[in-house]
Amino acid sequence: MLELQGISKSYGDHKGASDVSLVAPSGSRTVIVGPSGSGKTTLLRLIAGFEAPDVGAISLDGRQLHGSGGSVPPHKRNIAYVAQEGALFPHMSVGDNVGFAMPRQAVDRARRVDELLEQVGLPAGFRTRRPHQLSGGQQQRVALARALAQKPDLMLLDEPFSALDTSLREAMRNMVGDVLRDAGIASVLVTHDQAEALAFADHLVVMRDGRVADAGPPQRLYAKPADIETARFLGEAIVLPAEIRDGVAKTALGEARVRQDDAARADVLVRPEQVTVSESDAGALGRVLHRSYRGAQWRLEIDCRDGGVAEPFSVDVPATVDVKPGDLVRLGVSGEVHVFGR
């Protein structure tokens, strides 16, 4: 288990991290996500030991890495670090890169290198190649094998998929997740990609302005975020004022279920997938502004400002639905919506 307590780090007048406390559960895939400048990379470097916090404590499995007793240097933390570009040694072969953390005279060194290459989906024949002979995805696989070679207690991943093609990113992300799970190694991934964060995380941490804005299971953060800004960061969000009574929220898009019985006025969160679109006579009226073809679906941009929705929003409908720009459609809300501040 990784634990950070009251971590702060400043660079002149800029706060890289401000009073950050969080727990990454043992064996979990923790993802730190946030916009540029939110403090996520600063946090990763502090965990690795590349920089020291101004105040606060860091511990891993009960062993203090930084605190009142001093700071453990990076090479003694048993934490592996995979950088954005892989950072392989260009003058070394793949085998020597992977075996860098192993004793050079170890009798099973070559066998272990081949096992690690196989573990990340590369044939043993790659051992003699140089980094410049590999694709970007292959280089990242080698970087992961090199990190696994040191048998770390924790794996830090600094946007390792950002330089890859979209089609390769998902495959690499799934492969890395499987390898870490099979090896029983906890990981912390930093990314600015919300979809990637939601897909990879067991435990999600949203950073904003050097602070933790929200943390917990990704399903909870997406469905019930702590605030409106977090809701909008993690996906398209339709925020509506509502009148709540007896477990029902009355909104501009219609009625929706909520988990509270007391009467109140509050903002509620509706995700686009909760919006229903039909050509019936019931429901709020909206106009289709644009549509784009997505294969099995149309992505519609809908204007419902006359109905009280402040901004146009997007929804997906089956490609079999014949709705064109300029058409009027009836809108509704399905499922339960989240009430902010409750």
Q: What is the DSSP string of 256-319?
A: EE-S--S-EEEEEEE-GGGEEEE-SSSSEEEEEEEEEE-SSEEEEEEE-GGGT-SS-EEEEEET
Residue 292, pLDDT above cutoff 90 = yes
Q: Which of 65-69, 108-112, 161-165, 292-296 has the lowest mean pLDDT?
A: 161-165
Q: 261 lies in which domain range?
A: 236-339
pLDDT band at 52 (very low <50, low <70, confident <90, very high): very high
pLDDT band at 14 (very low <50, low <70, confident <90, very high): confident
Mean pLDDT of 154-169: 84
pLDDT band at 197 (very low <50, low <70, confident <90, very high): very high
Of the three residues 176, 208, 232, the one that is the final residue of a domain is 232
Mean pLDDT of 60-66: 93
Q: Which of 168, 171, 166, 206 is nearest to 32 (CA)?
A: 206
Same domain, 149 and 284: no
Mean pLDDT of 324-331: 92
Same domain, 282 and 137: no
Same domain, 29 and 99: yes
The pLDDT value recorded for residue 342 is 65
Same domain, 60 and 189: yes
Same domain, 75 and 196: yes
Same domain, 101 and 149: yes
Of the three residues 187, 208, 232, the one that is the final residue of a domain is 232
The pLDDT value recorded for residue 298 is 92
The total domain count for the chain is 2
Same domain, 228 and 160: yes
Same domain, 247 and 202: no
Indicate the pTM of the whole model: 0.88
The pLDDT value recorded for residue 184 is 86
Same domain, 67 and 162: yes
Same domain, 127 and 265: no
The pLDDT value recorded for residue 4 is 96
Q: Retrieve residue 135's tokens.
A: 């694709």
The pLDDT value recorded for residue 259 is 85
Average pLDDT value over all residues in the chain:
90
Beta strand 297-303 pairing with 284-293: antiparallel
The pLDDT value recorded for residue 124 is 82
Q: Is 274 exposed, middle or buried, given 0-12, 13-18 or 19+ CB atoms closer than 10 A? A: middle
Q: State the CATH number of the domain containing residue 211.
A: 3.40.50.300
